[in-house]
Amino acid sequence: MSAPVLSIRNLNIDYIGAEANFRAVKDVSFDIAPGEFFGLAGESGCGKSTIAFAVSRLHRPPALIRTGSEILVDGRDVLELDKDALRRFRWREVAMVFQSAMNSLNPVLTIEAQFYDVLHTHKGMSREAARERAAELLKLVDIPPDRLAAYPHQCSGGMRQRIVIAICLALNPKLLIMDEPTTALDVVVQREILQRIDVLRKRLGFAVLFITHDLGLMVQVSDRIGIMLEGELVEVNDAQTIYRSPQHDYTKRLWASMPKLHGDQIRPEAGA
Amino acid sequence: MAFLLRRLAFYLAAFLAAATVNFFLPRLMPGDPIQIMFASAGSELSLENLNALKLTFGFIDAPLHEQYIAYIKSVFTGDLGRSIKYFPLPVTELLGRALVWTLGLVGIATLISFAVGTILGVMAAWRRGTLFDSAVSLVAIFSSSVPAIVVSLILLFVFGYTLRWFPNGYAANPLLDPGFNWTYISSVLYHGTLPMLTLVIVLTGGFAVTMRNNMINLLGEDYIVMGRAKGLADNRVMLFYAARNALLPTVSSLAIAMGTVLGGSLIVEVVFNYPGLGNTLYQAILARDYPVIQGQLLIMTGAMLVSNFVVDLSYVLLDPRLKKA
Amino acid sequence: MTLFKQLLGNKKALVGLTILVAIILIAIFAPLLTEYSPTRRVGRPHQPPSWDHWLGTTRLGHDVFSRLVHGARVSLAVGFGAGLMITIVGTVLGIIAGYKGGVIDEVINFFTNMVLVVPNLPLLLVIAAFVGQAGPVVIALILGFTSWAWGVRVTRSETLSIRQRDYVKSAEMLGEPSWRIMALEIFPNLISIVGINFIGSVIFAVIAEATLGFLGLGDPNTVSWGIMLFNAQNASALSVGAWWDLLSPCFALALLGLGLALLNFAIDEVANPRLRTGGMLKSWSRMVLLGEGKL
């Protein structure tokens, strides 16, 4: 395996309370290789989204990433970056698709403006250059360029999701984090989006950190999978192993709790 | 467009309601409504003039609903009767002159306090939990709890009577001829400072709290987190992602706040002897000049409805979701 | 009950409550606090504050302190009386509109919005002007009659969301009569809204009483803070230098307004956890300063 694009070491994250603190992430370590599709699964509240937010350092008080944690992106510790370096790092190296497609676009700005602010901030592009680039990006996700003038509410949920992905690709990031990106969408759109991400990943070469509670879906798309339980990473293995011979008790129980119907339909991808 | 037309129809109904209150009030009081309405006239008005006034206010020899229609007809043709104290000055003319001063006072004070309050609220929410936030909250509590009447009297006492920095009354130096020249305008500004300051003090806190709370309720939204994740400058996320969206509910609360603003200006004008609607009304109340008192309600309601409509318009401009749909 | 417990732990609530209770006690025990009658000439006109007259005297030689503590009774009574009426009307109409929906909702909602766009103070002034020198009871009635709309609006919108909750749905399934659901399932969940509405209405009513009094629409024979303002203004208190005459009721009004507003802010914070900036942020900042972690 070549040098990992994301390397998390001894990550501890607390939510500080008035009386007691709650440890949401407990001493988690794992790596993601360049171009790899890595899945992180677990019940809601197990800390998987907390990890995703920590990678771009998006947390707000009272969350606290404890000293001693390391988040290395391309060998550089994100936790050591100062304000300006952090701003330059965000989106250029790690882009992110958030939980609800409906709400991750700013309702009062046009689609074009939401491309432009990324391209202008990071690349200093002019409006015209940004418009051209945005049109190219939209083409990647099969959206006609005339949508640039639209506002988010004029687009369907699936379309908004694809627009967000296009914005994510604007700066050719090394890592794309998807935090339960498909929960609000119906199954057909969900599958279509994941397939599209997979195609784009192979074409553009970024790695994916995919977070969901839907283990069945995850096994179909991921190369490797980590299973989280109450803030701890209890098992990391390639998707096949997680599916065929889970090691940890909790992983077995997760499989047992999946509806049978769903289990039968799973056709795991052969390793990418 | 449909949205604005619906609002317009509603405002028309609301104006009708205010006129209806005017119609029924004298008729609901114990005693002869004509006697009550024109009591202050005494025997000074000629029979002819009195009859004309009676006609305007719907006191005709006919059943109630015809009286009502007669009154509503005069209101909607812009005939609000004549002032009894300043007979034969028409109420519309008397109040129209005063309205200019009130609108100037209220308009500028609202703009200043809305701008200042909104900016303070945005910054407090963005720096939530810091000393700045606590300071803004504290100032806002003071500002929104102390009534206009108290603020204006204290300002008048401190800056008008004790320090003598500002004049105690009038809209401008009465010795100057009104005109569009710097001497007159500066005099207007000088005389308007304390009344304006009172309204700004009373209003700013409320706007700051509203904006702060709206912002805080939005800060967890995905599009704001995504704005930060995009690596945009802090100010861009604060202003174009958070504040720009939090402004929508704040603007709609502005519509309701206009009632407080107009009410506040009534008091402030009386305290500072400012020649606006409030003072005119005060003189009318002292003289029991009912046509003027009633006309004031209609003019105030009209002002309120117009400002509400302006708020509606700006809402349509601010929220792309309302433009087409 | 937890609401009250949380309130007692809130600094703003404690300060506000202390102010309010102090003013209420002063009002109740007014006759014991001063030897002077509020309506008798007890000194020379416009005496500055002194040992004999703590807050000086009015132009008519009345003791300002005595008028202030006695006036607190009327101002508080009008405030709480009108506040109670406004809250009852607002809450009842709001719950009915929000829960019943349909035509009833549309009618209530239409009238509410209509009353909201007619400016309140000018409306009050017109009514009060026709009533003539209105006593405290009449003023409270007028306020109750004209100022309920805001309460209906907030109660209604909150009821609309509570109506969808499971416990309301299950009560409906069980065939509970709708008045029972409104009174026992919905109302208890509106306590903080009702509280905010009540306190806000009391503030409004106290200020409105003062304003009507100041404008000469009150009954000049009552002793209230509004009438004190009216008398002081008529006596040109400021221009003759008798600031105590005018500023005493001013400060009393400001203090009462402040106490009530603090209570209201506190309820808002307790009921809406997102607005709270409590102890957790303090210990969070401490830990960041100590280098125990970062964002």
pLDDT of residue B179: 77
pLDDT score of A262 more than 50? no
Query: In chain A, what residues touch B225 (CB-CB under 8 Å)?
Result: 53, 58, 98, 104
Q: CA B320 from chain center: how many Å? A: 28
The confidence band for C201, taking pLDDT boundaries of 50, 70 and 90, is: very high
For the full predicted model, state whether its pTM sits above 0.80: yes
pLDDT bracket for residue C21 (50, 70, 90): very high
Q: How confident is the model at residue A267 (pLDDT cuts 50, 70, 90)?
A: very low
Residue C256 is predicted with a pLDDT of 94
Residue A103, pLDDT > 90, answer no
pLDDT recorded at residue A183:
67
Residues 129-148 of chain A whose Cβ lies under 8 A from any Cβ of chain B: none
B63: pLDDT confidence band, cut at 50, 70 and 90?
A: confident
Mean pLDDT across the stretch A214-239? Answer: 89
Partners of chain A (3+ Cβ pairs below 8 A):
B, C
Q: Which helix (H) or strand (E) holds C294?
A: strand C293-294
Residues of A with CB under 8 A from a CB of C: 14, 16-19, 57, 59-67, 69, 79
Q: Is B232 part of the contact surface with chain A (CB cutoff 8 Å)?
A: yes
CB contact under 8 A, A107 and B129: no
Task: Examine the pLDDT at B176 and tell me if it is beyond 80.
Answer: no
Q: Tell me the helices (H) and strands (E) count for chain A, helix number first.
A: 10, 11
3-class secondary structure, A170: helix
pLDDT value at C277 more than 70: no
Contacting subunits of B (3+ beta carbon pairs below 8 A):
A, C
The amino acid that residue A195 corresponds to is Q
Domains of chain A: 6-257 (3.40.50.300)
Residue of A nearest to B229 (CA): A90
Instruction: Assess whether pLDDT exceeds 80 at residue C180.
Output: yes
Q: Determine what percent of chain A falls in helix, strand and coil, rounding each to the nearest 5.
A: 45, 25, 35
Residues 235-264 in B contacting A (C-alpha not used; CB under 8 Å) = 236, 240-241, 244-245
Burial class (CB in 10 A: 0-12, 13-18, 19+), C44: exposed
List CB contacts (< 8 A) between C295 and chain A. Answer: 57, 59-61, 63-65
Q: Confidence class of residue C232 from pLDDT cuts 50, 70 and 90?
A: confident
**Given this model, what pLDDT does residue A60 score?**
85
Q: Does the structure show a pLDDT above 50 at A264?
A: no
Query: Who has greater pLDDT, B59 or C22?
Result: C22
pLDDT at C276: 67
- Which residue from A135, A198, A202 is spatially nearest to A163, judged by alpha carbons? A135
Residues 6+ away with beta carbon under 8 Å from B109: B196, B199, B200, B203, B261, B265
Task: Please enumerate in sequence order all residues whose Cβ is within 8 A of that of A16, keeping only pairs 6 or more positions apart, or say none.
Answer: A61, A62, A63, A64, C280, C283, C284, C287
Measured CA distances, B233 to A81, A126, B126, B237 (Å):
15, 17, 14, 7
User: What's the rounded Cα separation, in Å, for the pair C245 and C48?
Assistant: 9
Largest distance between two CA atoms of chain A: 56
Contact between residue C231 and residue C59 where contact means Cβ atoms under 8 Å apart: yes
Closest CA relative to residue B105, chosen from B192, B194, B187, B166: B192
* Complete DSSP assignment for B173-207: -TTSPP-SSHHHHHHHHHHHHHHHHHHHHHHHHHH
* pLDDT score of B301 more than 70: yes
How much is the average pLDDT of B230-253?
91
Residues of B within 8 A of C238 (CB-CB) are: 153, 156-157, 160-161
How much of chain C exceeds pLDDT 70, in percent?
98
DSSP three-state, residue B259: helix
Residue C273 clears pLDDT 80, i.e. is over it: no
Rounded to the nearest integer, the mean pLDDT of chain B is 87
Q: Domain C2-289 is in which class?
A: mainly alpha
A213, pLDDT greater than 60:
yes
pLDDT digits (tens, 9 = 90+) for A164-192: 999 999 999 999 999 887 666 677 777 88
Q: Do C281 and A61 touch (CB under 8 A)?
A: yes
Which residues pair with residue C293 across a beta bridge?
Answer: A66
Q: Is the pLDDT of residue A72 over 90?
A: yes
Q: How much is the average pLDDT of B280-294?
A: 89
CB pair distance less than 8 Å for C130 and B129: no
- Please give the average per-residue pLDDT across B218-243, as a whole number: 91
For B219, the closest chain A residue by CA position comes to A60
Instruction: Out of A29-38, A258-267, B39-48, give the one with best mean pLDDT.
Output: A29-38
Calculate mean pLDDT across residues C121-138.
87
**Cβ pair C37, C70 in contact under 8 A:** no
B102 pLDDT higher than 50: yes
Residue C232 is encoded by which pair of tokens?
């002081």
- Sheet containing A207-212: give its strands across: A94-97, A175-179, A207-212, A37-41, A224-229, A232-238
CB C78 within 8 A of CB C69: no
- Which chain A residues contact residue B245 at CB under 8 A? 106-108
Residues of B in Cβ contact (< 8 Å) with C113: 10, 14
Round to whole Å and give the CA distance between C56 and C62: 9
Contact C125 B281 (CB under 8 A): yes
**B324 band by pLDDT with thresholds 50, 70 and 90:** low
Arithmetic mean of pLDDT, A1-27 = 87
Q: What is the model's pLDDT at position C103?
A: 94
Q: What is the pLDDT of residue C93?
A: 95
Between B184 and C17, residue with greater pLDDT: C17
Q: How many other CB atoms sit within 10 Å of the CB of residue C285?
A: 15
Tell me the β-bridge partners of A97.
A178
Which structure tokens are listed for A111? 């689609």
* Candidates A53, A100, A117; nearest CB to B230: A117
First to last CA, chain B: 9
Instruction: Using the predicted structure, report yes or no on whether residue B163 has a pLDDT greater than 90.
Output: no
pLDDT category at A270 given cuts 50, 70, 90 is very low
| Residue B268: count of CB within 10 angstroms of its CB | 30
Q: How far apart are CA A131 and CA B253, in angstroms?
A: 37
At B112, which helix (H) or strand (E)? Answer: helix B91-126
- Asked whether residue A269 carries a pLDDT value surpassing 50, the answer given is no
**B245/A115 Cα distance (integer angstroms):** 18
Q: Is the ipTM of this complex over 0.90?
A: no
- Both structure tokens of A113: 């403006």
**Confidence tier at B315 by pLDDT (50, 70, 90):** confident
Distinct helix (H) and strand (E) counts, chain C: 14, 1
Contact (CB<8Å) C217/B285: yes
Q: Which residues of A touch C278 (CB under 8 A)?
A: 18
Q: Which of the residue ranges A180-189, C153-162, C227-236 would you say has the lowest mean pLDDT? A: A180-189
Mean pLDDT of B102-108: 91
Across the interface, of B225, B231, B324, the residue whose CB is closest to A88 is: B231
Question: Would you say A93 and A62 are in contact if contact means Cβ atoms under 8 Å apart?
Answer: no
Picking from A73, A102, A108 by the largest number of B CB atoms within 10 A of its own CB, the best residue to mutate is A108
B90: phi then psi, degrees, rounded to nearest 5: -65, 145
Chains touching chain C at 3 or more Cβ pairs under 8 angstroms? A, B
Report the residue of A56, A96, A106, A163 to disrupt the B interface, i.e. the one with the largest count of B CBs within 10 Å: A106
Q: What is the pLDDT of residue A271?
A: 39
The confidence score (pLDDT) of residue A91 equals 93
Domain boundaries, chain C: 2-289
Conformational region of residue A24, where left means phi above 0, alpha means psi within -120 to 50, and beta covers everything else: alpha
Residues B315, B162: Cα–Cα separation, whole Å: 44
Q: Give the mean model confidence (pLDDT) for residues A71-91.
A: 92
Question: Which of A78, A117, A155 would you mutate first to test chain B, the one with the most B CBs within 10 A?
Answer: A117
Is B229's CB within 8 Å of A58's CB? Answer: yes
Radius of gyration of chain C (CA): 23
Q: Which of C114, C284, C145, C292 is nearest to C208 (CA)?
A: C145
Considering only CB atoms, which chain C residues are within 8 Å of A66? 292-293
Lowest-pLDDT choice from A23-32, B49-58, B204-213 = B49-58
Task: Give the model's pLDDT for residue B325.
Answer: 43
On the question of pLDDT at B171 being above 80, the answer is no
C188 preceded by a cis bond (ω within 30 of 0):
no
Q: Which residues of B are less than 8 Å from C272 in CB distance?
A: 213
